[in-house]
Amino acid sequence: MLASAPVSRNSAIDLPAEVASAASAPPPAAAARSVVLVGMPGAGKTAIGKRLAARLGLPFRDADAEIESAAGMPITEIFSRYGEPHFRDGERRVITRLLAGPPLVLATGGGAFADAATRRAIKASGAATLWLRCSMATLLRRVAGREHRPMFLNADPAEVLQRLMSARHPSYAEADVTVTCTDESPEVTTRRVEEALAAAVTPQRLSVGLGDRGYDVLVGPGLLARAGGLIGPVLPARKAVVLTDASVAPLHLPALRAGLEAAGFDMLAEVAVPPGEASKDFSRLQEVLETVLSEGLDRRTAVIALGGGVVGDLAGFAAAVAMRGVPFVQIPTTLLAQVDSSVGGKTGVNLRAGKNLAGAFHQPRIVLADTDTLATLPARELRAGYAEVAKHGLLQGALWNWCEQHGTAVVAGESAALTHAVLESCRLKAAVVAADEREESAEGGRALLNLGHTFGHALEAEARFDGTVLHGEAVAVGLGLAASLSARLGHCSQEWPSRVIAHLAACGLPSRIADLPRRFTVEALMGRMAKDKKNRDGKMRFVLMRAAGDCFTSSEVPAEAVTALLRDEGAG
């Protein structure tokens, strides 16, 4: 019914077997499954459900009718005799039994999906859930004449419906698909429901295994519109502030706002900072904190990052220090952020001494990587993000082979290639972060994710974060330099620098220092690298490679070898 969204063993990263085998495997085909219709009284769940079942060739069941049949009495009598808790328990058992059988279309009572335990049971069954969402005016017209029903006895229907909508809409927003119903004919609505189900893509879900601080990474299209329903269950309260930038806000903030409001979120503040690395500093951090605190942020308020890596790092650091730590949600909108910075909990700001030298580890509660947002990226930003995908390929092995075959499709913006690149990059990073969250491993571990970054951060910092050299562009050059240094030290064959540099160049990325639009000196770059936060005991620390899928960290790199490489590669 719902379509599925579209390693070699590393000596230093011990990846789970499923990560190794998933790098180039196609997604599995979706099996037929049940459809559960949820919504308010008067939404048309039974009328639409019967028609939908006929169109899909599935049996139809009405949960309320099944409950009355099993109990041998009307629902009103069950309520009056035994109370709502007893009814909800029986309702849950009936729905669970029905969904345990062959696929069907099931219409539920208005309160079923609003019950947390029943909602969990429906989700656990694997059924597709669809919310028939109606306006107040539509519902009032449809419930006219139902004044005899218990909920409307001696009450104003509008007041009753408003109360129920306020209580239940946040739960309905957790449905997989939402279709807004109007006064059109049931046949037209049924056709739109069928089309919505056919077009829906189930997001891929990856887990970052950090025990009590673990969280899921969701990858797929259309996640902004569903954001409230997806993030609400993992937050302590439906209150949030959104941090974004002035370029992203007009593109994606309206969709996010609507998705949050549909799930009953109270939006305390929306803060937009100027785009670019210059926003990652202490003065901007203080402005953000003063703003959100003045709007009423408390320890149950989530900070939501909507944007690229700069916004994610800044928002995450703000969440880490506000009230000594508040919930944090990552909604990355760039390829660079989706494949790298949004996963792992590293947050921070830049100092004059270098990039990300002040920060904290603060894990998000959930990451929503909406692949639809990548269609709005400028070509240069998309190419820059691909550098991190290539890095993950070199770390993993099998993904590098995929990159060499499909990298040009990724930077061309082809949807299937982008989705695969994001999914597999997140899969690798989730496994690495789970094994070495705070980069404390003596060798290898999370430090391997810095392949190319010792060089890249030096180049980026020396460019003063002024936009002439993007982070991904600096990393691309850094990957070429890391491969070249590995070859010069005898760790890999000369084939690898040639392959890495040629592939990055074919994808439109700078791959050598001389490709960058400004000049650098050996002395300046060496000075930057000497202050790199990954250094230990005063020694520069590099990630080197023997081959794709076989990388390692080393502090035994002669400074003169690095100096000679920089000079040969174009530094003055």
How far is the C-alpha of 243 from the C-alpha of 269, rounded, in Å? Answer: 8
Q: Is 44 annotated as a binding residue?
A: yes
Q: Which of 450, 473, 541, 569 is catalytic?
A: 450
Handedness of CA 136, 137, 142, 145 (dihedral sign): positive
Q: Is 346 annotated as a binding residue?
A: yes
Q: Which of 346, 365, 420, 528 is catalytic?
A: 346
- What token pair was written down for 546? 């023997």
Q: Is 168 annotated as a binding residue?
A: yes
Strands 550-554 and 366-370, how do they pair?
unpaired
Q: Is 313 annotated as a binding residue?
A: yes
Q: Is 369 annotated as a binding residue?
A: no
Q: Is 553 annotated as a binding residue?
A: no
Q: Is 312 annotated as a binding residue?
A: yes
For residue 114, how many C-alpha atoms fall within 13 Å in the half-sphere facing its CB? 17
Give catalytic status of residue 453 as yes or no: yes
Long-range contacts of 556-564 (CB under 8 A, 24+ apart): 557/485, 557/489, 559/526, 561/485, 561/488, 561/489, 562/485, 562/526, 562/529, 563/522, 563/526, 564/488
Q: Which of 92, 429, 488, 541 is catalytic?
A: 429
Q: Is 469 annotated as a binding residue?
A: no
Give catalytic status of residue 391 as yes or no: no
Q: Which of 277, 439, 462, 569 is catalytic?
A: 439
Phi/psi for 226 (5° steps) reads: -105, 10
Q: Is 45 annotated as a binding residue?
A: yes
Q: Which of 324, 352, 556, 560 is catalytic?
A: 324
Q: Is 539 annotated as a binding residue?
A: no
Q: Is 474 annotated as a binding residue?
A: no
Q: Is 43 annotated as a binding residue?
A: yes
Q: Which of 420, 457, 503, 541 is catalytic?
A: 457
Q: Which of 91, 270, 381, 388 is catalytic?
A: 388
Q: Is 326 annotated as a binding residue?
A: no
Give catalytic status of residue 280 as yes or no: no
Which residue type occupies 347? T
Q: Which of 142, 365, 446, 528 is catalytic?
A: 446
How far is the C-alpha of 507 from the C-alpha of 380, rounded, in Å? Answer: 11
Give catalytic status of residue 147 as yes or no: no
Q: Is 138 annotated as a binding residue?
A: no
How far is the C-alpha of 516 from the C-alpha of 512, rounded, in Å? Answer: 7
Give catalytic status of residue 450 as yes or no: yes
Q: Is 191 annotated as a binding residue?
A: no
Contact yes or no for 10/551 (Cβ under 8 A): yes
CA 298-261-243 angle, 5° bins:
50
Give catalytic status of residue 439 as yes or no: yes
Q: Which of 252, 406, 420, 471 is catalytic?
A: 471
Give catalytic status of residue 420 as yes or no: no
* Structure-token match 């947002």, residue found: 373
Which residues fall in the annotated binding site? Answer: 42-47, 64, 88, 110, 149, 168, 309-313, 333-334, 346, 355, 373-376, 388, 453, 471
Which residues fall in the annotated binding site for Mg(2+)? Answer: 46
Which residues fall in the annotated binding site for NAD(+)? Answer: 309-313, 333-334, 346, 355, 373-376
Q: Hey, which residues are catalytic here? A: 324, 346, 388, 429, 439, 446, 450, 453, 457, 471
Which residues fall in the annotated binding site for substrate? Answer: 64, 88, 110, 168
Which residues fall in the annotated binding site for ATP? Answer: 42-47, 149
Which residues fall in the annotated binding site for Zn(2+)? Answer: 388, 453, 471
